[in-house]
Structure 1
Amino acid sequence: MTTTASRPEATAAGPDAPAARIDTDYPLTRVPLSARQGWFGVLVVVAGFLFFTPTMVTGGAVAGAFGFAGFVTLAIIASIVLALYVSTMGAVSARTGLSTVLLARLVLGRVGGKWASIVLGGTQVGWYGITVGIFANLLASALGWDVSWPLAILGGLLMATTAYWGFKGIEILSWVSVPLMLGLCFWVMTLSVDEVGGWASMWATQGDGSISPGLAITMMISTFISGGTQIGNWTRFSKKATTAFITCIGVVLAIEFAMLFFGGIGAIAFGEPDFTNLLLGLGLAVLAVFLLVFNLWTTNDNAAYAFGVAGAELFGVANKRPFIIGGVVIGIALAVTNVADAMTGFLVLLGTVIPPLGGAVIGTFLFTWRLRDPGTHLDTVPAFRWPGVAAYLLGTAAAFFGSLTGIGSPALQGILVAILAVPVADAITRAMRAPAQTVEAA
């Protein structure tokens, strides 16, 4: 394995433009070993990212369809799948020091990898708009306002500030948000169990069967599949891949399930899948505003950081900040136009096109790079790496098949097919090159 600190690209984008002097978050290069962080800082940032109110809303929707017992089973499955996926993606970035969009460049090619920047950056802008909309509606309801757009503008601008500062700003905010939100969730759980008459009554609840199990798993995975695919934006600062894997799998299992669980149990008890509306209905407006503002802020500063990094790769600019500003403007516009109303369709779309990208990265890391950093200079990558492109397209086709037919879970199928397609596509590519090389030699 090549030492990241020894590579020219780890410290500079060119002879006259040192990347580290422009943006110390290394949006276009490997993170050098000298800039790596301790495991606890990475844990806090990832935990803050996972405390995501829309995940609770999705948990509420699924719980209403299956009842508590069925919902808990599906939530466990979704959390395990997501944890394995996210932790593996995190380990790949920790091993290489590369963000997800830069990994995609190595896997799909210099041009092919631009698709990753577009889809990952674009979906994070969409999530930014959804989260700003939730924030604005919550605060407007608490204040008794009839309009929420001024709050969407104000909140959208404030949420971008910590992402603009970089990794350290996100970590500091997460230290405040995570314990506050966890306390609120346990309080709501206690109220919910009391409302239905105890745990025995909660386990006996039934759903209306309006969602298939495969779609339910995809919806729950999709609440964090875009962010989870980009977990490398933060784990690339980890000192060891093993540490990143263990940290991510523990945090994702605990917090993703907790978010789904707390959202579901509140929906079953009070008949309200929207956690924000539930808190307001319980007369907890002031507390809800205070705590959820911090929760939504930690999620959105991570989203802004992610689309900033994606924009830097897409346009080849060694500075994420202009793209944070541009994405925030678009996200605010989406919030003002109530994009959150289309959340379910958006989640299904994310669960179709994004997981195969992570599957192609994981498959390449396992079967082609064999758990090592390939050491490839980012500027010498060919326009397209056809094995990676083929694996991604096959995974996407499998995900779309599941989405259209209702068979299985589209997200899971997309990941697995893309992973397994990598060694097959690699073998076919080598077989096709062999006759051409023989002719040239002759």
Structure 2
Amino acid sequence: MTTKATSKEQDYPLSPVPMTERKSVWSMGLVLLGFTFFTATMWAGGSIGVAFDFTTMLMVLAIGNLLLGVYAAVLGYIAAKTGLNTALMSRFTFGEVGSKLSDFILGFTQIGWYAWGTATMAILLVKLTGMPESLTTPLMVVFGFGFCVTAFIGYKGLEWLSRVAVPAMIILVAVSMTIATADGGGFSGLLAIAPTDEMTMAAAITLVFGTFVSGGTQATNWTRFAKSGKTAVIATLLAFFLGNGLMTLIGAFGALVYQQADIVDIMVAQGLATLGILMLFLNLWTTQDNTVYNFAVAGCNMLRTRRRKTVTVGGAAIGTVLAVLGMYEWLIPFLILLGTFIPPIGGVIMASYFVGYKRSYPALSDVTLPAFNITGLAAYVIGSTAAYTSPWIAPIVGVVVAALSYSVILIASQAVRERRTQVTGAI
């Protein structure tokens, strides 16, 4: 029988977070900001920076990040109110066995990000320092297991790292952007730069929203620690609208001024190579530990085990293997996969909570859930199909269609059951 102390030590992977363990908006904001400060997000911003003029670029980034922030904030609100993460909420939405589908999808995406970050750190460190290329694979192994240390500790480890890394990254980014603005000829010079590539606004917003939507879907792993729904919403918007927005803006700035989207390459061009390496390390570590933590939480729900620390190390091992096998080259198709199949999960969960359960989940220990929730699974399939085939903003289409499908199917099935009851009673 699992004791309360053991559950606390493992960060409550299979049960609600009690109110005695809830955190402040400051604590959560730091952890989530560390999560959203991610190198790949800057590359997405870089793609946008070369496709639009300065004013349109800012509008696209604002819309995309606001939509992402609102999406993550709604899920964060539900997590704070229930004390549950996405994996546990999926049991109500997809069923006891059906929830393993979302566990697999969410866990796979997070370990894919972990592999990409591990490979990126090793490859760029060799590139920037001039070390022999033969050290790339050994470095992947070192970083693959090293990055998971703070995640192994749990929420406190993530918070400790973020307290140090987030302020340092903000200072480094401010210095770099100040130099970039000067090199670009000031504000007037930036306005005069003409786009060199083409992209529709819908595609650009999809890129901004889709790049970190998997993280937004699993931000509930931390917002479930919030003291209130308001705390969760504020912390989530701070991280996903402002934090993610800053990362995409940096990438766009770099593309405009230096024709580079990555902050490390930008700092090298600015003569800040040493700071660039430090920035890369902090940037990736604060995301890597959150990512493998997400994998562990989803894995615990799939395997029905409270051994989060063991699953964390296992996830780091899988991520390291994928990094060695070449995950660095798979980023673009991986992003397309995320933007299509992750958002509908969040859409169905929202509809399940607000429409299906009327804003109040019963205690997991007091309810017997079906193996498969056909309504939730059908809504997910419909939402994913709509996102995959949509020429418009695929992630948003997936969320909206999945949520509406769940609501319509649920209401229609309830009406049919009531009608059958009336007919049977009349007979």
TM range, normalised to the smaller chain? over 0.9
Residue of structure 2 equivalent to 1:18: 3
Is contact 1:101–1:313 with CA below 8 Å preserved after alignment?
yes
Aligned counterpart in structure 2 of residue 180 of structure 1, from 168, 183, 186 = 168
Residue of structure 2 equivalent to 1:425: 409
Structure 1 residues 277 and 334, CA gap change in structure 2 (3 angstroms): farther
Are 1:249 and 2:233 matched, yes or no? no
Aligned partners of 1:88 and 1:345: how far apart in 2? 27
Aligned counterpart in structure 2 of residue 110 of structure 1, from 96, 100, 105 = 96
Residue of structure 1 equivalent to 2:62: 76
Are 1:318 and 2:306 matched, yes or no? yes
Aligned counterpart in structure 2 of residue 99 of structure 1, from 85, 99, 104 = 85
Structure 1 residues 210 and 20, CA gap change in structure 2 (3 angstroms): farther
Question: Which runs of structure 2 are paired with 1:292-441 in the superposition (5 Å)?
Answer: 292-377=280-365, 380-402=368-390, 407-437=391-421
Task: Give the counterpart letter for 2:215 in structure 1.
Answer: G
Structure 1 residues 319 and 145, CA gap change in structure 2 (3 angstroms): same
Question: Which runs of structure 2 are paired with 1:187-198 in the superposition (5 Å)?
Answer: 187-198=175-186
Shift of the alpha carbon at 1:29? 0.9
Shift of the alpha carbon at 1:67? 3.3
Aligned partners of 1:422 and 1:240: how far apart in 2? 27
Structure 1 residues 274 and 246, CA gap change in structure 2 (3 angstroms): closer
3-state SS of 1:98 partner: coil
Q: What RMSD over aligned residues (CA atoms) do the two structures have, in Å?
A: 1.8
Aligned partners of 1:115 and 1:272: how far apart in 2? 38
Residue of structure 2 equivalent to 1:32: 18
Aligned partners of 2:373 and 2:423: how far apart in 1? 23
Are 1:120 and 2:109 matched, yes or no? no
Aligned partners of 2:422 and 2:6: how far apart in 1? 48
Aligned counterpart in structure 1 of residue 138 of structure 2, from 122, 127, 150 = 150
Question: Which runs of structure 2 are paired with 1:122-137 in the superposition (5 Å)?
Answer: 122-137=108-123
Residue of structure 2 equivalent to 1:262: 250
Aligned partners of 2:43 and 2:4: how far apart in 1? 40
Residue of structure 2 equivalent to 1:163: 151
- Give structure 2 stretches of 5+ with no counterpart: none
Residues 42-101 of structure 1 show CA distances to partners (whole Å, capped at 9, x for unaligned) of 111111111111111110112112232222111111111001001111111111111111
Is contact 1:394–1:418 with CA below 8 Å preserved after alignment?
yes
Give TM-score, length-normalised by structure 2: 0.94
3-state SS of 2:195 partner: coil
Shift of the alpha carbon at 1:266? 1.1
Is contact 1:188–1:266 with CA below 8 Å preserved after alignment?
no
Task: Give the counterpart letter for 2:194 in structure 1.
Answer: Q
Shift of the alpha carbon at 1:155? 1.2
Residue of structure 1 equivalent to 2:127: 141
Aligned partners of 1:374 and 1:209: how far apart in 2? 52
Is contact 2:183–2:257 with CA below 8 Å preserved after alignment?
yes
Residues 173-196 of structure 1 show CA distances to partners (whole Å, capped at 9, x for unaligned) of 001111111111122212222222
Aligned partners of 1:425 and 1:146: how far apart in 2? 59
Percent of paired sites with the same residue: 35
Is contact 2:10–2:308 with CA below 8 Å preserved after alignment?
no
Structure 1 residues 194 and 24, CA gap change in structure 2 (3 angstroms): same
Task: Give the counterpart letter for 1:61 in structure 2.
Answer: S
Residues 73-132 of structure 1 show CA distances to partners (whole Å, capped at 9, x for unaligned) of 111111110010011111111111111111111111111111110010110000001111
Is contact 1:176–1:294 with CA below 8 Å preserved after alignment?
no
Task: Give the counterpart letter for 1:366 in structure 2.
Answer: F
Is contact 1:69–1:204 with CA below 8 Å preserved after alignment?
no
Task: Give the counterpart letter for 1:276 in structure 2.
Answer: V
Shift of the alpha carbon at 1:387? 2.2
Task: Give the counterpart letter for 1:418 in structure 2.
Answer: A
Is contact 1:55–1:260 with CA below 8 Å preserved after alignment?
yes
Superposition misfits of 4+ residues, deviation over 6 angstroms: none
3-state SS of 2:6 partner: helix
* Bigger mean CA deviation after superposition, 80-89 or 248-257: 248-257
Shift of the alpha carbon at 1:162? 0.3
Task: Give the counterpart letter for 2:65 in structure 1.
Answer: S
Aligned partners of 1:41 and 1:196: how far apart in 2? 36
Number of residues paired by the alignment?
423
Aligned counterpart in structure 1 of residue 274 of structure 2, from 286, 303, 317 = 286
Aligned partners of 1:203 and 1:101: how far apart in 2? 45
Is contact 2:28–2:223 with CA below 8 Å preserved after alignment?
yes
Question: Which runs of structure 2 are paired with 1:36-47 in the superposition (5 Å)?
Answer: 36-47=22-33
Give TM-score, length-normalised by structure 1: 0.91
Aligned partners of 1:166 and 1:436: how far apart in 2? 50
3-state SS of 1:66 partner: coil
- Give structure 1 stretches of 5+ with no counterpart: 1-15
Aligned partners of 1:109 and 1:208: how far apart in 2? 49
Residues 153-185 of structure 1 show CA distances to partners (whole Å, capped at 9, x for unaligned) of 111111000000000000000011111111111
